[in-house]
Amino acid sequence: MAKITLKNLRHSYLAEPQNKEDYALQQIDAEWSDGSAYALLGPSGCGKTTLLNIISGLLTPSEGQVLFDDKDITHIPTAERHIAQIFQFPVVYDTMSVFDNLAFPLRNRGVAEDKVTARVNEVAKMLDLEHSLKQRASGLTADGKQKISLGRGLVREDVNVIMFDEPLTVIDPHLKWLLRSKLKELHQQLGITMIYVTHDQTEALTFADHVVVMFEGTVVQVGTPVELFEHPAHTFVGHFIGSPGMNILPCEISDAAAHFAGNRLQTACTKLPGIGTGNLEVGVRPEFVQFDDSGFPVEIVKVDDLGRHQIVAVRHNDNAIKMIIAEDAPIPSENPRISFSPQHTRLYQDSWVVN
């Protein structure tokens, strides 16, 4: 169990990085508390696996430090960090039985055989593997193998943190849900710090207490699922999280108010930036756009009925706007007009939110 601190962390896969683009991780400072479940969420290539491998010690960062409980472990080898990592593709030792697989990390560390047996049985029970202990590991299905990978992390009692690198990629959809609930249950039961890397927002939001959203090598926001949904700090968070994502529209300031295509908007922003300061955008989630006769006129492009709600794509001048409305809500056939909920309409300056 440990608190994880990342200090001025930067990493480049090149020996001599020249400019910003050469860094896979730009600059990361974070403090992750002991016993929480974190999700690293971001698109492919945003640096989340790099960050994970730095924490596990498979990579040494170009700059900065990694601390476990305020102890600098940046240059300590993986085996001594007391971490466990579960990879995208299940790693099992084919020639060994499930029991031997689970016992492997303990035996490598010279634990007495009777202790090994007790511990393996305990972990097998937690993971519902007790009936396949004698089986060859290679004969198991993908989710069974992934459970073994996880089990090899759980058998060690000194594990500081368990890290998951997109662990459900090769699991069948109906088993994904089961395995994810199992993870969550284990987290609550054991209280081990868990870091979960994924590009799937549903996985991240259901698994984690805190979601760390990464984009182009930087952390753009850390927050609970609710915070990420209601207060996206960056336009990337806005359109990456949510389905469909946030509407990001061009905006300008005049007459002490934000305007979108000439329409005055009320926003949640309390202190408007000055005129001509950076690129301004306004963001509003489709959930907070509604038909409103006092709003501005739009043209309806398409209506998708998803069964639970409808997604309406509309257009104002050349700006596409998506809105989510209730399944049974009427769609005006003539001169539709829409408006945004002021408390959920946010102003972004150079992609970052203005409060």
Partner 1 sequence: MSKPTNQKAWLLVIPVVLLVAFNALIPLMTVVNYSVQETFGNNVFFWEGVKWFEQVLNSSRFHEAFLRQLAFTGTILLIEIPLGIAVALSMPKKGPWVSVCLVLMALPLLIPWNVVGAMWNIFALPDIGLLGRTINAMGIDYNFTQQPLAAWITTIAMDVWHWTSLVVLLAYAGLCSIPDAYYQAAKIDGASPWSVFWRIQLPKMKHVLTIAILLRFMDSFMIYTEPFVLTGGGPGNTTTFLSIDLVKIALGQFDLGPAAAMSLIYFFVVLLMCWIFYTLMMRDEEQ
Positions in 224-263 near partner 1 (CB under 8 A): none
* Beta partners for residue 352, in sequence order: 234, 349
Rounded-to-integer distance, Cα 174 and Cα 61, Å: 38
The single residue among 139, 250, 297, 332 that binds partner 1, judged by CB under 8 A, is 139
Q: Which amino acid is at 92?
A: V
CB 90: neighbour CB atoms within 10 A? 22
Q: Is 349 in the site for partner 1 (CB under 8 A)?
A: no
Rounded-to-integer distance, Cα 231 and Cα 246, Å: 11
- Name which of 152 and 346 has its Cβ closer to partner 1: 152
- Name which of 87 and 296 has its Cβ closer to partner 1: 87
The single residue among 152, 187, 234, 285 that binds partner 1, judged by CB under 8 A, is 152
Three-state DSSP class for 144? Answer: helix
Q: How many residues bind partner 1 (CB under 8 A)?
A: 26
In the complex, the smallest distance separating the C-beta of residue 216 from partner 1, rounded to whole angstroms, is 24
Rounded-to-integer distance, Cα 195 and Cα 54, Å: 13
Q: Is 141 in the site for partner 1 (CB under 8 A)?
A: no
Three-state DSSP class for 150? Answer: helix
Positions in 56-85 near partner 1 (CB under 8 A): 56, 58, 77-79, 83-85
In the complex, the smallest distance separating the C-beta of residue 169 from partner 1, rounded to whole angstroms, is 12
Q: List alpha helices for 191-249, DSSP H.
A: 201-207, 225-230, 235-240
The single residue among 23, 104, 240, 348 that binds partner 1, judged by CB under 8 A, is 104
Please return the burial class of 121, using the count of CB atoms within 10 Å of its CB with bins 0-12, 13-18 and 19+. Answer: middle
Binding site for partner 1 (CB under 8 A): 53, 56, 58, 77-79, 83-85, 87-89, 91, 93-96, 104-105, 108-109, 136, 139, 149, 152-153
